[in-house]
Structure formats: C-alpha cells, structure tokens
Amino acid sequence: MIVSFRHRFIFAAIPKTGTHAVRQALRAQLGPEDIEQVGLFVESKFPIPELAALRHGHLSLDQLRPYLPPEQFDAFFKFAFVRNPFDRFISYCAFMTRVRGELEARPHQVMRHYIDNPQWQHVLFQPQYSFVSDADGNLLSDYVGRVEQMQRSYDDIAQRIGIPPTLLAKVNATKRRDYRDYYTPELADGVAKLYARDLELFGYEFQIQ
C-alpha cells in the first residue's frame, strides 16, 4: 500500500495484480512525507505499529481507515487494480508450487487441492473485493483499474491524481500458458464459487477462447 499526502491518494495493492509495476511507477512521484508498506524487492513499513506488524504490503482500505482522519480518508483518491479471478487463481497456484513446478506437471491435482482446501488465511489467496470494501461489503475505492487494461487504467489514474503518465515495466511476471488451458468445467465451477463476489462486483467471467 502507498499513501501519498503530497498527491492525496491511497493505492491498495491487491496481491497478484501487477502491483510491483504500479508501485515502481508511483515511487518516482512520491515525496518525503509519503509512506509505503511493501516487503518484496523493496522493504518499507508504515509508521503505524499495528500495520507494520503485518509484515506485508497488501493492506486493505478498511485496515488503513482507522489510522487516518475521516476527512482525509474520504478526500484522498483511493484506487486498486483487479484481475480476472480465474487467471489470478492460476497465478496463485503457480506461486505456491514454484519450487518444484507442480502446477505444470499436475495442474488439475494442484488446482483441486486449493479449491478443496481454501487458504483464506493466506493474503495472496484472499478475494479481491476484501481489499477495497468495508466489513459490510461497501466499496471504499474510488477507482478500480484492470490488469487486462493495465496501462490504460494507470494512465487514467495518473491523470486523476495529477502526476505524469509513464510506461509500466514488467515486474515479477511469470511465464505460463493462458489460464483457460488449465481448466476443466468442474474446476472452473469450483473457482467461481470461491470468488463469486469478485466475479459479481468486478464483472468478470470465464472467457471462452
């Protein structure tokens, strides 16, 4: 997460949505008064002990809200990026099996395991809506960009917060097949149930090739 007091924005970094490329672009515009929490490539913590103790940078807007004055939280431009949940689930499986490469060797078994044993305690597995909504499910973000249109979304965000647009780099990307190649109808149905709210809120579906 990044909170910029200079440019009056809050970036909620949802896991597995290209957040490091966005962080890298935003850092060039930050002032000394701005804060970031991140634990990969760059390590930085918020000056808020309760949040720093979480030891990762994927904080939700609802987690941050109690630590900012209400008028400040409401006035700052809050944004995040989301990704097709079916694609994001494959990215999660690839990350969790990256050492031995089980996803490529036994994709259906790996996917079935995580569908049947949801890792809700793992921040990378948590549904995307939980990072940008309150406990009642109300959306707290002002703008939700899409990984599938990442550059266009970032350019729109840059214009909204008054910083120069820049070409996003590819950071921490993994090479794998199109997400649709990994699924059977049964597996797609399982992931759809896991991330039903994400599919509904952000308008995603399993796209047929």
pLDDT, tens digit, for every residue of 138-197?
999 999 999 999 999 999 999 999 999 999 988 656 678 899 999 999 999 999 999 999
Token digits of residue 88: 């994001």
* Residues 68-87: tens digit of each pLDDT: 999 999 999 999 999 999 99
Rounded CA separation 198/201 (Å): 5
For the segment 6-12, the average pLDDT, to the nearest whole number, is: 98
Q: Say whether pLDDT at 209 is over 60.
A: no
Contact 115, 7 (CB under 8 A): no
Q: Is 141 exposed, middle or buried (0-12, 13-18, 19+ CB in 10 A)?
A: buried
Rounded CA separation 107/95 (Å): 13
Q: State which amino acid sits at residue 65.
A: R
DSSP 8-state secondary structure symbol assigned to residue 167: P
* Residues 129-139: tens digit of each pLDDT: 999 999 999 99
Rounded CA separation 86/175 (Å): 16
For the segment 20-32, the average pLDDT, to the nearest whole number, is: 95
Q: Say whether pLDDT at 36 is over 80.
A: yes
- Interstrand relation of 35-36 and 9-12 (parallel, antiparallel or unpaired): unpaired
pLDDT value of position 41: 78
Backbone angles phi, psi at 133, to 5 degrees: -125, 160
For the segment 51-61, the average pLDDT, to the nearest whole number, is: 96
Which residue is listed with tokens 């409401």? 74
pLDDT value of position 34: 98
